Amino acid sequence: MKKVYLDNAATTRVRDEVISAMLPYFTEYYGNPSSLHLFAREAAKGLDAARAQVAAALNATPQEIVFTGGGSEGDNMVLRGIARAYQKQGAHIITSAVEHHAVLHTLEALEKEQGLSVTYLPVDEYGRVSAAQVEQAIRPDTILVSIMFANNEVGTIMPVEEIGRVCRAHKVLFHTDAVQAVGHVPIDVEAMHIDLLSLSAHKFHGPKGVGALYVRKGVRLPALITGGGQERKKRAGTENVPGIVGMGVAIELAVAELAENTKAMCALRDRLISGMEARIPEIKLNGHRSQRLPNNVNFSIRYIEGESILLMLDLNGIAASSGSACTSGSLDPSHVLLAMGLTHEVAHGSLRLTLSRYTTPEEIDYVLEILPPIIEKLRAMSPLYQGGQN
């Protein structure tokens, strides 16, 4: 059976070059980078190189990069850390209704536990907030704006540079969860006035369980994980050296190939979008047509459940997702689609297909061949659907 992986927003295949770069750090340079010997020095050199690679990818300096255990940890570290370090300045944070749960659930916890005040900005029909909305929400006690770079479900890219400009003008710190954007969209923390940025290696063909946080020089950010003095006392624990080395190589390659990959991926994405629109009646593209990640396709397919489409696709070797991986398994419709104004019924019938550099035109054509009859069959069984009979 064919195997087609179109769930790259959930995680990606690790690149061969990344694996090769990691291997010696398991078997040869396995010293603890904090120790004082040859094995340790080699490991520490690996960390230094990766720090420089991550910094270069963002137009940051190596001193501004903190290695983390992934995107969720980075988001937690920023939200919990800024709330604590800046509590004298205020206790108000601005975010959007469509953030990843790593941001939303953390802020909800801070509201309950520490009396933090949070503004959840509504989004437009494409899933965007505007810089004007952010500006209107800023109060004298606002300490942080946290708006994602690009949405993991519908692929919508936020006006990050404009939001950054507003935050800078009002002297409010700006964090962006860029987990979906890194390697897909050019990022420049200086030009975009970003003060804090979280990223995660496994979303750009690096290993899982490792990420990085950009922390602008001068921003006070206490450790979330305390213990030893690693990462300039910002993140205790022996470093995941092979993982970090792999992330460095993955981000360098992703950024070097960005322009070329974007072109190829947008072409495949648009082939899938127009192919589905031509072959399947009563479907609606979720998210923005142009302000969209090159690898994201998300449709609402009326009258049927996303989960039943997934099961049928899986039987044909196609890996996809409905909404986000975190919400699948529960019957709640996606908070992102609801925030964009979709009804519960329509939000339930959503299908997300996310591409990668490994996706081929043949795979897209296979999906376009398999998917329409699946949807026809499911609709024929749906009590909500009258189209076939009338």
Ligand X SMILES: *Cc1c(COP(=O)(O)O)cnc(C)c1O
Site size toward ligand X, by CB under 6 A: 13
Q: With respect to ligand X, which residue has the nearer C-beta, 200 or 262?
A: 200
DSSP string, 18-42: HHHHHTHHHHTS-S-TTSSSHHHHH
Distance, CA of 90 to CA of 216 (rounded, Å):
20
Please answer whether residues 231 and 66 qualify as being in contact, where contact means their C-beta atoms are separated by less than 8 angstroms. Answer: yes
Q: With respect to ligand X, which residue has the nearer C-beta, 100 or 184?
A: 100
Q: Give the footprint of ligand X on residues 160-179 (CB under 6 A).
A: 177, 179
Give the residue at shortest CB distance from ligand X: 71
* Strand order, beta sheet including 350-354: 283-285, 296-301, 350-354
Closest CA to 202 of 373, 26, 13: 13
Strand, coil or helix: what is 227? coil
Q: With respect to ligand X, which residue has the nearer C-beta, 206 or 275?
A: 206
Report in angstroms how near the CB of residue 296 gets to ligand X at its nearest: 11
Just list the catalytic residues. 326
Please answer whether residues 200 and 77 qualify as being in contact, where contact means their C-beta atoms are separated by less than 8 angstroms. Answer: no
Using the rule CB under 6 A, is 72 a contact of ligand X? yes
Q: Give the footprint of ligand X on residues 176-195 (CB under 6 A).
A: 177, 179-180
Strands 65-68 and 211-215: antiparallel
Report in angstroms how near the CB of residue 75 gets to ligand X at its nearest: 6
Among positions 44, 98, 102, 272, the unique one binding ligand X when judged by CB under 6 A: 102
Q: Give the footprint of ligand X on residues 195-254 (CB under 6 A).
A: 200, 203, 211
Report in angstroms how near the CB of residue 99 gets to ligand X at its nearest: 8
Distance, CA of 375 to CA of 312 (rounded, Å):
9
Q: With respect to ligand X, which residue has the nearer C-beta, 179 or 276?
A: 179
| Two structure tokens written together for 73 | 């940890």
Distance, CA of 364 to CA of 314 (rounded, Å):
15
Residue whose entry in the numeric block shows the structure tokens 């899986």: 314
Report in angstroms how near the CB of residue 93 gets to ligand X at its nearest: 16
Report in angstroms how near the CB of residue 67 gets to ligand X at its nearest: 13
Closest CA to 100 of 314, 305, 266, 326: 326
Q: With respect to ligand X, which residue has the nearer C-beta, 21 or 77?
A: 77
Q: Give the footprint of ligand X on residues 31-70 (CB under 6 A).
A: 70
314 burial via Cβ count (<10 Å: 0-12, 13-18, 19+): exposed
Distance, CA of 299 to CA of 286 (rounded, Å):
5
Report in angstroms how near the CB of residue 179 gets to ligand X at its nearest: 4
Q: With respect to ligand X, which residue has the nearer C-beta, 208 or 279?
A: 208
Q: With respect to ligand X, which residue has the nearer C-beta, 75 or 363?
A: 75
Report in angstroms how near the CB of residue 8 gets to ligand X at its nearest: 11
Alpha helices, DSSP H, located in the chain = 16-22, 24-27, 38-58, 71-85, 101-114, 131-137, 160-169, 230-233, 241-256, 258-279, 306-315, 335-339, 344-348, 361-381
Among positions 71, 248, 323, 349, the unique one binding ligand X when judged by CB under 6 A: 71
Q: With respect to ligand X, which residue has the nearer C-beta, 72 or 300?
A: 72
3-state secondary structure 98-155: CCCHHHHHHHHHHHHHHCCEEEEECCCCCCCCCHHHHHHHCCCCEEEEECCCECCCCC
Report in angstroms how near the CB of residue 102 gets to ligand X at its nearest: 5
Closest CA to 225 of 373, 350, 331, 72: 72
Q: Which residues bind ligand X (CB under 6 A)?
A: 70-72, 100, 102, 148, 152, 177, 179-180, 200, 203, 211
